[in-house]
Structure 1
Amino acid sequence: MAYDQQLQERFYELRNTIRQQLFSHLNVEQFKAVETGAGPVLCLAGAGSGKTMAMVNRILHLYIFGPIYNARPELSHGLNQEEIELMENWLKNSEEMGTRTLSPQVMRLINMEGIQPRSILAITFTNKAAEEMQSRLEALLGEKAREIWVMTFHKACVRILRREITALGYSSDFTIYDDYDHLQVIKKAIASLNLDDKKFTPRAISSLISRYKCELKEPADVLKKALDFWQEKGVQVYELYQKELKKNNALDFDDLITLTVKLFSEHQDVLEKYQKRFLYIMVDEYQDTNHAQYRLVNLLAEKHNNIFVVGDDDQSIYSFRQADIRNILEFERDFSRATLIKLECNYRSTQRILTAANEVIKNNTGRKQKVLWTQNPEGELLIQYRAADEKDEARFIGEKIFELGDKGSSYQDCAVLIRTNAQSRALEERFMKTGIPYRIFGGQKFYERMEIKDIMGYLKLLVNPSDSVSLRRIINVPRRGIGEATIQKIEGFAVEQGLSLYEAVDKYTEIDKSSKALKEAAGFVRFMEKIKEEAKDISITALTEKILTETGYIEGLTKDNTIESQSRLENLKEFLTVTNDYDEKTSEPSMSDFLSQICLVSDLDSYEDEQNTVTIMTMHMAKGLEFSNIFIGGLEEGIFPHSRSLMDDELEEERRLCYVALTRAKERIYLIYAKQRNLFGRRSYNLPSRFLEEIPLGLWEEYKRVSTFFETSYEANATSSKGTALMLDYVLGDKVEHKKWGQGVIVGTSGQGEEIELQVAFPGMGIKTVLARYAPLQKVQ
């Protein structure tokens, strides 16, 4: 067929212009990452350099234009003037309105050598990052975006294992054990070996097992190489632990990765099936991968070699989670023809902040060279403050937060970053006294609360009756009179008969019908069987409500009528919001899928930036977040860098941690160190951190108090007329109202000047100590 030559030339011209317009918002290096679609690519993406944007647009480019852009692809049909006008109109609207979303008609016209979305696997490290990427892709690609696997390592592995794990001798309805569940199994294994759980603590054994699994080492691989008695016994616990997991048809988080690697290594047909599907593999935060994840990616990519990894070696801070920085540093050795792309333009911070971060990190030797820069303003000087002690440090931070508020900053614009959780105590005390709303990020998580784990136990047991950990948790919740002695009898019977604990409950109660506890246990099994039948016809939300009602769980909490029980009822209502959200948004809801999603929620997934509170968090928890104002406390030798991290490799990771902390800030950074500090029950006198010395003089200024008479005791900065006036406003017995705690009575006072403290008794809340100067109190007449 002879095409109209003029229309054809115009089509190629417009197609090329549309491509330029689609990606015109990217900088040169980002666009290079986008259009380099074939072969291995290492994209070194500095903090705040727009790596998510690059990844999303790379997928868009692959879908429309394919891995290698062809400016003149062969046309499969004749062109008409209408189609040319469609393209011209889109370009005109795009230039006028700044839109980059293609209409379906234009998409079909220019998509001539694109790849199928289902052939793309994009791995992220948090569900939150996956959801953000998926949302952006759906805005650009519509429903086609749902064919792409955009998910965490763990979620991708769960999806594969649900389909294929029978090849490894497990059932596809396996349970995923969270931190609490897996510690119960470890405790049981320690007890079985008659080991002292004070010498062989469950947490230490858990770390040992996790390390072995991330290194893809099974018990038999390491037993002969044990260095000492403790390690030898630890490996024996590992062996027992793994047997118990399999008996329960359960996997821990590490198993999700290691068993997928095992599946691919031992079953070539399964590996080829997924290699055939995933022609293009992308991995975010590659510097955080461990050996098992590295091996998984390499297995999937070895056939086509179309692997694109994004990461920043300068932000590799999770070696305690078995992350191996060598994976990113040696990528070009693993893939000899790899293309290296550096994203060094930062869109987050001021130039002064970036220069400080660059100056600190350049002292590391084990890194790939890059220098962050920005088109943002130069910005303010960093502020350095030498505090008298930890209380003065907290006082300084509190005052600066109030000052920033006067300049228009919100509480949520401020974050205090600390090296260890123990540093938060003085900060919390000060913030409570001064009425600064705050939250400790990384505290008890929603799904770790007792009532949530109880209802989750019921749901897990419904899906997987072999799950003895969940059965043990809920068989006497609410109380049914089934004690530990009864459970141990049933466990012994289960071992003798080769039964699961759930099967043994039913069988054993038929043998001994005299025991009241066993009758209750039999009733529990009957209830679970009844619920299992009813679960086939109702939603997860309706099922959850049914369990909470029919077990008497809700009734028990309602009768308690305490502040704690009310809080637990509120948490259960929130859980029902979660189940309802899942029921409504999932096309084919299943209990297994729901439980998998809940179990795979990570710390960062729970971060909400809508709350107007100051955030206190460790530097490790801060990775991936950003705030206008960052306070870094405890910048002293022995605290940061940590006293246990002074060897070369460890010190380099501490420096990377400092780099991460600095690059969280958009506008201002406050660097605080104390002359003396009370921490871990002892008072120490530490030198300023070496990281402070690595920031050149021209980038920071020292903050000094104007009225300091006694450096070591800020409290000695005595009275002020303002403080005296404040004291005159309050007397013992005054009734006051607090914004958060309601009405109360002043029962005591202490301090002087601006540091006057009031002790106020609030009904139901106890006695609270607040600073008169800051507390949101009003007198009640």
Structure 2
Amino acid sequence: MFDFGNANEGQRKAISSAEGPVLITAGPGTGKTYTLVQRAIYLIQECGVKPESIFIATFTEKAAKELITRITNELAARGIIANINEMYIGTFHSLCLRILKEHLEFTRLRKNYRLLDGFDQQYMVFQNIYRFRNIPELENVLPNGGTWIQSESICNYVNSLSEELVNPDELVFDSDKSIAALGRILIEYRKILAEDNLMDFSSIQIEAYHLLENHVEILEELRSKITHIMVDEYQDTNFIQEQIVFLLAGNRKNICVVGDDDQGLYRFRGATIRNILEFPQKFTVGECKVIPLVVNYRSNSDIVDFYNEWMTCTEGANFKFRWDKFRYDKTIEPHKKSSLHSPSVVKLAGEEDVDEWHEKILQFINDLKDSGKLTDYNQIAFLFNSVKHPKVIALAQFLEKNRINVYSPRSDMFFHRYEIQLALGCLMLMFPRYVHGLENGDYTFLQPEHLTYYRNCIVMANEFLTQPENEKLLKWVRRKGKEHIGLTKATDYAYCGLMYQLFEFHPFAGILDTEMNVGMVDVRPARNIAKLTQIIGKFEYLHRIDVLNANEYRGKRRIDQDTEKLFNLYLRLLFDGGITEYEDDSEYAPSGCVSFLTIHQSKGMEFPIVFVDSLWNVPRKNSNDLMLKIEDRYFKRPAFEPYELTKYFDFWRLYYTAFSRAQDLLILTCCEDSRAPSNYFKDVYGKLKSVENPKFDIKEFDFKLVKDVNVKNTYSFTSHITVYETCALQYKFYKELGFAPVRANAMLFGTLVHETIEDIHRAAMRHEEQTITEENVNHWFDSNYESLTKTEHTYLAAPQREAALKQVLRYMERQHGDWSHIQQAEVDVSLVKPDYIIEGKIDLIRGEGDTVEIVDFKAERKPDIEKMRDRLERYRRQLHIYAHLVEERTGQKVSKMHLYYTGEDSGIPTITYPYTKSAVEGTMAVFDDTVKKILKKDFHRCANDSKVCAECDFRFYCMNK
């Protein structure tokens, strides 16, 4: 019999409902993740479903990692051996991306496509705005304002239309000229994506949908592989995601969706609550099982009663609405009744005086601490509608001044951190012409806030540099400034290179010295400096800047033009858009800090003590009249929720989510004035007792500790183990902190050879051996070269290109037309270990039956075995890791392991190693030991190879040490 553990009746029913459509409505704290994990185990253990046949879509990468960790731990506890690494678990975007990568040749994408994040997407439109401005009626579609605001509007339209699968070719013939203009915008936008081999987040799903729709053989292949689908947070899915789910499920209809319609928060991203409300109606009457989970294990019963009441309190002084069919009727039940005499839902108010309100909050936190009931500040979370609101920032600054650290990664404080302002100030001072331009008011297009910010950075840097102990840095900055003013030839560095040179000096060297096992606030400056290198590195990539150049272009030196572009354009736009600071998936509530989070950000989290602020908020209409017209005419289904009620629905769901985050104590707080609390909160707020009421007693509470997030990290031999073994300090900077290398050292030649050989292998695996001809290989080679140069911004000279092509053709000729031994190519393999996940990519698996050989290609001549002993030993260990992964993953026996040198033109191109179990076990033991050191944050050992040091970006930092 299956061991259901402590599952309640509803959970047991959900876990064991293995076939057909299932809807699990899971209220807050009702064990949704536990149920998903156990259901996956049930499918594997009781129903014999292969892990690789299970598809689980989650809302965040963190949720996916947590599911993988919990499922693997549960399987291990039950003694079940399963290839869990083959299971399809991830966000919709990552799962669609996986499907696309596996079938890239059937899409419009070419290898080496670049994936755009939100800022990249908007910046791409910004750079191409001239292409959109030729569209008739554009001015009637876009808002008034500058190019950046218009670029944002274009992106919003494009994303909304794409995720509803609106055909732009239909829009352009609409009699409404504004709708026709939107159609042309979408067509032009997609042209740019295709020309530059780009993909944004919405087009990931579109490309996957069209791949499944247009290639029946691929859809059938996936349907035969994927037999059971589970979707978490179904209330937050959009139209295209629903389409993909039903396409993959086919006639099996084994779709289990889990969610809470009361926590649907993402309408602004295209999510629609109708997906979860209408799910049972997609099937014949009675076919879909609807299983409610209503027993809450998270919160004190007072808190549960409070948010239950909130969802039914829909009539007030100036508002009245009914949920009707737009909500599943439910009442969440507390696991047990509170035995406290003290209320667990209270209010903390300031009387129209912000300073008094701040003092009351500080006093309350100090009282909690002094009582001994609060053991760590991370037990407290403040939730807001926006953490960027001036009131929120003022409260955070007040608490930090009073020695209470605040963790608020989405508050857009990045540019205002001391280390960032100082770094930017020092950087600007190295370009005196730019500083003079600021002082003389030459940049009239900069807004006052930008001028103030840059001047403050310069003042801060000057004040720091003129302190006697910083004389060394002052001399260096001045010397660089003089060199840049008088520059006559190109330097051997650009802006990111200058940043790394700065690391030789205090305080940057001290920031980089920070140990990784200290608190989040202590590590934050190092992470922010790392993020600044990423930002500047991205700027250099997008604008193809490798060095500082004195050549003139249109009457101005390149160095001056590029510097102005960096500060007056790129950083200015980032400053306006805001940058989030580092968030750790494995520690959402860092020790020693109170959390300041948006309500959206807190979804899925829980805290012992929750303050809910933003009580001045009111329901607001959030719709676009033009999009409403398009929805009416071109969306695939009619509108669902009444437009006049959506603002109320969204408002109630938002605060329901906020209130239900609290475990032991919920506090509604505001500075009471004419705006707060708004009329929408007055009834529920007015009934609450104050924290100053004698009936409220802190000493009655026993606050829970914040739960550890159980997430396993992923490590590979080449990206992690080799880096750590070469230099643990490099590992700390590049892997742990995320510093961006100045030059990524793209191995264009080797990648070009690898990718074209992969094309050959893929044709063979499709049983299209007849297409492996010299003419086609030339075509594949040219296509790969074109996409690589667009991505890497580097090129090969004609002789190098010819040499690379020759290596590929030589490899093809050596096979004599026999490709029958190929089993898999470019195989991503992974294996879940007790404490981590190991992954790798195998170039080729060949062989027959249960015995295989693995091949790793090297685009170079076969080396001298004696002279290259150390490198070959590293390659041998890498092959052992791959052999271990293949055997554990597939059960196939590995007989041999080969290094294949495509540059070998005369002799035998391979170096072959026998497979021995003892050697593999030895290599894995070393791998385990290295990972343990990484997990312990042991990053003190430096490289002992002068060549490694000479080529390292951190050589200036290390020289100082």
Same fold (TM over 0.5): yes
Partner of 1:201: 150
1:645-666 per-position Cα deviation (integer Å, ceiling 9, x unaligned): 9941111111011110110000
* Amino acid across the alignment from 2:665: R
* Amino acid across the alignment from 2:161: Y
* Amino acid across the alignment from 1:127: E
Specify whether residues 204 and 394 from structure 1 end up closer, same or farther in structure 2 by C-alpha distance, changes over 3 A only: farther
Specify whether residues 302 and 669 from structure 1 end up closer, same or farther in structure 2 by C-alpha distance, changes over 3 A only: same
| Aligned counterpart in structure 2 of residue 48 of structure 1, from 18, 29, 42 | 29
Q: Distance in 1 between matches of 2:605 and 2:234?
A: 17
Q: Distance in 2 between matches of 1:575 and 1:702?
A: 43
Cα distance, 1:520 vs. partner?
6.6
| Aligned counterpart in structure 1 of residue 303 of structure 2, from 349, 353, 356 | 353
* Amino acid across the alignment from 2:366: F
Specify whether residues 235 and 667 from structure 1 end up closer, same or farther in structure 2 by C-alpha distance, changes over 3 A only: same
Moved more, 335-344 or 190-199: 190-199
Cα distance, 1:429 vs. partner?
3.1
Partner of 2:503: 558
| Aligned counterpart in structure 2 of residue 31 of structure 1, from 12, 16, 19 | 12
| Aligned counterpart in structure 1 of residue 45 of structure 2, from 30, 52, 64 | 64
SS of match in other structure, 1:260: helix
Q: Distance in 2 between matches of 1:287 and 1:305?
A: 19
Does residue 693 in structure 1 map to residue 687 in structure 2? no
| Aligned counterpart in structure 2 of residue 140 of structure 1, from 74, 77, 93 | 74
| Aligned counterpart in structure 2 of residue 412 of structure 1, from 378, 382, 390 | 378
Specify whether residues 250 and 331 from structure 1 end up closer, same or farther in structure 2 by C-alpha distance, changes over 3 A only: same
Partner of 2:216: 268
Q: Distance in 1 between matches of 2:250 and 2:488?
A: 56
SS of match in other structure, 1:151: strand
* Amino acid across the alignment from 1:219: P
CA RMSD of aligned residues (A): 4.0
Instruction: Give yes or no for contact 2:132–2:188 (8 Å, CA) kept in 1.
Output: no
Partner of 2:328: 368
Partner of 2:293: 343
Partner of 1:289: 237
1:709-741 per-position Cα deviation (integer Å, ceiling 9, x unaligned): xxxxxxxxxxxxxxxxxxxxxxxxxxxxxxxxx
1:478-501 per-position Cα deviation (integer Å, ceiling 9, x unaligned): 99x9xxxxxxxxxxxxxxxxxxxx
* Amino acid across the alignment from 1:145: I
Specify whether residues 261 and 392 from structure 1 end up closer, same or farther in structure 2 by C-alpha distance, changes over 3 A only: farther
* Amino acid across the alignment from 2:363: E
Q: How does 1:428-507 map to 2 (within 5 A)?
A: 428-443=396-411
Q: Distance in 2 between matches of 1:226 and 1:439?
A: 52
Instruction: Give yes or no for contact 2:172–2:182 (8 Å, CA) kept in 1.
Output: no
Instruction: Give yes or no for contact 1:386–1:674 (8 Å, CA) kept in 2.
Output: yes
1:178-213 per-position Cα deviation (integer Å, ceiling 9, x unaligned): 122111111123233347752752222221111111
SS of match in other structure, 1:258: helix
Q: Distance in 1 between matches of 2:360 and 2:171?
A: 51
* Amino acid across the alignment from 1:210: N
Partner of 1:486: none
1:334-379 per-position Cα deviation (integer Å, ceiling 9, x unaligned): 1231000001011100111001111111345120011111224425
Partner of 1:388: 351
Structure 1 alignment gaps of length 5 or more: 1-15, 67-113, 453-477, 482-516, 525-546, 579-600, 677-683, 707-781
Specify whether residues 418 and 280 from structure 1 end up closer, same or farther in structure 2 by C-alpha distance, changes over 3 A only: same
Does residue 311 in structure 1 map to residue 259 in structure 2? yes
Cα distance, 1:237 vs. partner?
3.4
- Tell me the number of residue pairs that the alignment of Structure 1 and Structure 2 aligns: 524
Cα distance, 1:305 vs. partner?
0.4
Partner of 2:661: 664
Specify whether residues 656 and 164 from structure 1 end up closer, same or farther in structure 2 by C-alpha distance, changes over 3 A only: same
Specify whether residues 279 and 227 from structure 1 end up closer, same or farther in structure 2 by C-alpha distance, changes over 3 A only: same
Cα distance, 1:58 vs. partner?
0.7
Cα distance, 1:141 vs. partner?
2.5
SS of match in other structure, 2:258: strand
* Amino acid across the alignment from 1:438: V
Partner of 1:250: 198
Cα distance, 1:289 vs. partner?
0.2
Partner of 1:613: 593
Instruction: Give yes or no for contact 2:528–2:582 (8 Å, CA) kept in 1.
Output: no
Specify whether residues 138 and 445 from structure 1 end up closer, same or farther in structure 2 by C-alpha distance, changes over 3 A only: farther
Q: Distance in 2 between matches of 1:169 and 1:558?
A: 43
Partner of 1:210: 159
Instruction: Give yes or no for contact 1:288–1:324 (8 Å, CA) kept in 2.
Output: yes
Partner of 2:207: 259
Partner of 2:363: 399
Instruction: Give yes or no for contact 1:397–1:631 (8 Å, CA) kept in 2.
Output: no
Q: How does 1:506-521 map to 2 (within 5 A)?
A: none
- The share of aligned pairs that are identical, in percent, is 28
Specify whether residues 222 and 606 from structure 1 end up closer, same or farther in structure 2 by C-alpha distance, changes over 3 A only: farther
Partner of 2:952: none
Specify whether residues 150 and 298 from structure 1 end up closer, same or farther in structure 2 by C-alpha distance, changes over 3 A only: same
Q: Distance in 2 between matches of 1:555 and 1:198?
A: 34
Specify whether residues 445 and 242 from structure 1 end up closer, same or farther in structure 2 by C-alpha distance, changes over 3 A only: farther
Q: Distance in 2 between matches of 1:440 and 1:573?
A: 17
Cα distance, 1:291 vs. partner?
0.8
Q: Distance in 1 between matches of 2:228 and 2:488?
A: 56
* Amino acid across the alignment from 2:350: A
Specify whether residues 27 and 222 from structure 1 end up closer, same or farther in structure 2 by C-alpha distance, changes over 3 A only: same
Specify whether residues 416 and 219 from structure 1 end up closer, same or farther in structure 2 by C-alpha distance, changes over 3 A only: same
| Aligned counterpart in structure 1 of residue 110 of structure 2, from 171, 193, 202 | 171
Specify whether residues 192 and 403 from structure 1 end up closer, same or farther in structure 2 by C-alpha distance, changes over 3 A only: same
* Amino acid across the alignment from 1:208: Y
Moved more, 397-406 or 24-33: 397-406
Instruction: Give yes or no for contact 2:234–2:275 (8 Å, CA) kept in 1.
Output: yes
**What TM-score results when the alignment is normalised by the length of structure 2?**
0.50
Q: Distance in 1 between matches of 2:525 and 2:411?
A: 20
Cα distance, 1:130 vs. partner?
0.9
| Aligned counterpart in structure 2 of residue 622 of structure 1, from 585, 590, 602 | 602
* Amino acid across the alignment from 1:693: D
SS of match in other structure, 1:340: strand
Specify whether residues 152 and 602 from structure 1 end up closer, same or farther in structure 2 by C-alpha distance, changes over 3 A only: farther
Instruction: Give yes or no for contact 1:393–1:633 (8 Å, CA) kept in 2.
Output: no
Instruction: Give yes or no for contact 1:289–1:324 (8 Å, CA) kept in 2.
Output: yes
Instruction: Give yes or no for contact 1:673–1:688 (8 Å, CA) kept in 2.
Output: no
Specify whether residues 626 and 57 from structure 1 end up closer, same or farther in structure 2 by C-alpha distance, changes over 3 A only: same
Instruction: Give yes or no for contact 1:190–1:197 (8 Å, CA) kept in 2.
Output: no
1:73-122 per-position Cα deviation (integer Å, ceiling 9, x unaligned): xxxxxxxxxxxxxxxxxxxxxxxxxxxxxxxxxxxxxxxxx111111111
Instruction: Give yes or no for contact 1:290–1:322 (8 Å, CA) kept in 2.
Output: yes
* Amino acid across the alignment from 2:160: R
Q: Distance in 1 between matches of 2:587 and 2:222?
A: 33
Partner of 2:848: none
1:387-443 per-position Cα deviation (integer Å, ceiling 9, x unaligned): 223444333322221122123212101111112231312312321332211121424
1:629-675 per-position Cα deviation (integer Å, ceiling 9, x unaligned): 11111323xx2445869941111111011110110000111112333
SS of match in other structure, 2:44: helix
Structure 2 alignment gaps of length 5 or more: 77-81, 134-138, 315-321, 421-429, 434-486, 513-523, 535-580, 624-642, 695-961
